[in-house]
A and B are shown apart, each in its own frame.
Chain A
Amino acid sequence: MPTISKKQYDDYKQLCKERDEGRILTPDGLRFICEAYNYDPEAIGKHMLEVLVKVTQKKGL
């Protein structure tokens, strides 16, 4: 049986938390954003920059 250390387990839990709170960008999520902005590079870029500001403010980075 493969073994899982406590550190790996904690990392996994953290990943699940990030995923559940929508903080992980999956391929499907990326496709959804691109489609929502009709593949307009400028609109997609603007959206990404806005999200980046929100994320960095939330994390205090």
Chain B
Amino acid sequence: MTPSIAELRKELKQSISSMHPDVAFLEKGHYTLDDILDQLIFEIIIEEYKQYAERHPVQYFLDLYDDEHVGTSRKYTRSIQYAQYFRDYENDAIEEAHGFKLPELEAQDMSGSKTFEGHQFTEHEFLQYKFKAECALLTKLHGRQIESSKHVSNSAFKDLFNEYYNLMGDIEPPVNNASKVISHTYTYYATETYFLTEFLYHITLAAERAGFKKAIPLERIREVCVLTPEIPATVWCPGVYYATLFYIPKWAAYTDDFFTDSDETWLVKECSLWDSMQVKSFILQRGHDYLVEYMHSCSVREKADFIVEKYWIWDCRPEFEWTPERILYYRKLHAELMRDFPKPHIK
């Protein structure tokens, strides 16, 4: 049988149905079984991309994306150093918890003859460095200056978000360029799941609808958008480390529930999310190599078509409309929800 995403989807659906004792329970929140499958397939496409995408030196991409070439060398060197600083921080935390490091987070070996070849990047990696270099908002989010009006005034706050919106809009890919559909969508997905820029805006709007209550439902928010370090074993599934279910297309659907659901109502959604996260992460992690190889045998066009038809997260982007109350809440939300990072010292 010719490998295809449709066939893979059937197999995965079968696996989930035979694995979970009550598949209907997975749909007790806002996600359906089809949504979970879409997320799983998207992540397999990403895993395949990480392993097999073409890599090129920065100069190759400069000709494509940064034709001014003014001060680019320092710009990208700084960006690479910043990114590596945060990757090392993440990798050290993983090593401390589990005793090993993730190779994909380690710095590229630039010793010996490799000095002359330079760093080799995928298009997605290059775009991330470019975004980091050009989008001031990301620096302000990382450094948490965004949380204080002393560091970022309200008008600067609006400007930063407008710039972010425009820069991200600039890389929305044309649907007929298959490789860009994958690499650019991955860049948007990675940026949003890391910084939660737009999700926090959706939460702010929901908080406004609920009357800007003082307490922020942090636990509920985390259950939707934060990586879970460990889910213990159940009778139907072994324990899973680093579980996620970042189904961006429907993240916003949960935002009102954060503020309005009773504890009982939320508990059902929480358990459903938990199970969905466990089943998705277990299948992806346990079947990783097989799934990546299977996806590799599908054409790039087919993968791009899947993203265009089923996972077009570009349509989820909100147009930011800020009021002083919203800005205030966003600052507070960011301060309470996001992690602290030690500051990098890069010249």
Binding site for B on A (CB under 8 A): 1-6, 9
Q: Mark B309-334, 1 if CB is under 8 A from A, else 0.
A: 00010110000000000000000000
Total cross-chain contacts (CB, 8 A): 21
B175 contacts A9, C-beta separation under 8 Å: yes
Q: Could you tell me how many residues of chain B have their Cβ less than 8 Å away from some Cβ of chain A? A: 9
Question: In the complex the two chains form, what is the Cα distance from A58 to B169 in whole Å?
Answer: 37
B177 contacts A1, C-beta separation under 8 Å: yes
Binding site for A on B (CB under 8 A): 172, 174-177, 308, 312, 314-315
Question: In the complex the two chains form, what is the Cα distance from A32 to B256 in whole Å?
Answer: 54
B177 contacts A5, C-beta separation under 8 Å: no
State whether A1 and B176 are in contact (beta carbons under 8 Å apart), knowing that A6-B308, A9-B308 are contacts in the complex: yes
Question: In the complex the two chains form, what is the Cα distance from A4 to B304 in whole Å?
Answer: 13
| A3: nearest chain-B partner, CB-CB | B174
B315 contacts A3, C-beta separation under 8 Å: no
- Enumerate chain B residues within 8 angstroms of A5, measured Cβ to Cβ: 172, 174-175
Distance (Å) between the CB of A25 and the closest chain B CB?
A: 28
Question: In the complex the two chains form, what is the Cα distance from A5 to B173 in whole Å?
Answer: 7
Task: Provide the main secondary structure of the chain B interface.
Answer: loop
Question: In the complex the two chains form, what is the Cα distance from A9 to B181 in whole Å?
Answer: 13
B314 contacts A4, C-beta separation under 8 Å: no
Among A1, A3, A6, max chain B CB count under 10 A is at A6
| A4: nearest chain-B partner, CB-CB | B176
- Enumerate chain B residues within 8 angstroms of A9, measured Cβ to Cβ: 175-176, 308
| B314: nearest chain-A partner, CB-CB | A6
- Enumerate chain A residues within 8 angstroms of B176, measured Cβ to Cβ: 1-4, 9
B315 contacts A6, C-beta separation under 8 Å: yes
Question: In the complex the two chains form, what is the Cα distance from A5 to B308 in whole Å?
Answer: 10
Distance (Å) between the CB of A17 and the closest chain B CB?
A: 14
Question: In the complex the two chains form, what is the Cα distance from A1 to B179 in whole Å?
Answer: 14
| A13: nearest chain-B partner, CB-CB | B309
| A9: nearest chain-B partner, CB-CB | B175
- Enumerate chain B residues within 8 angstroms of A2, measured Cβ to Cβ: 176
Question: In the complex the two chains form, what is the Cα distance from A7 to B280 in whole Å?
Answer: 31
Distance (Å) between the CB of B201 and the closest chain A CB?
A: 21
- Enumerate chain A residues within 8 angstroms of B308, measured Cβ to Cβ: 6, 9
**CB pairs A–B below 8 angstroms (18 shown):** A1-B176, A1-B177, A2-B176, A3-B174, A3-B176, A3-B177, A4-B174, A4-B176, A5-B172, A5-B174, A5-B175, A6-B172, A6-B175, A6-B308, A6-B314, A6-B315, A9-B175, A9-B308
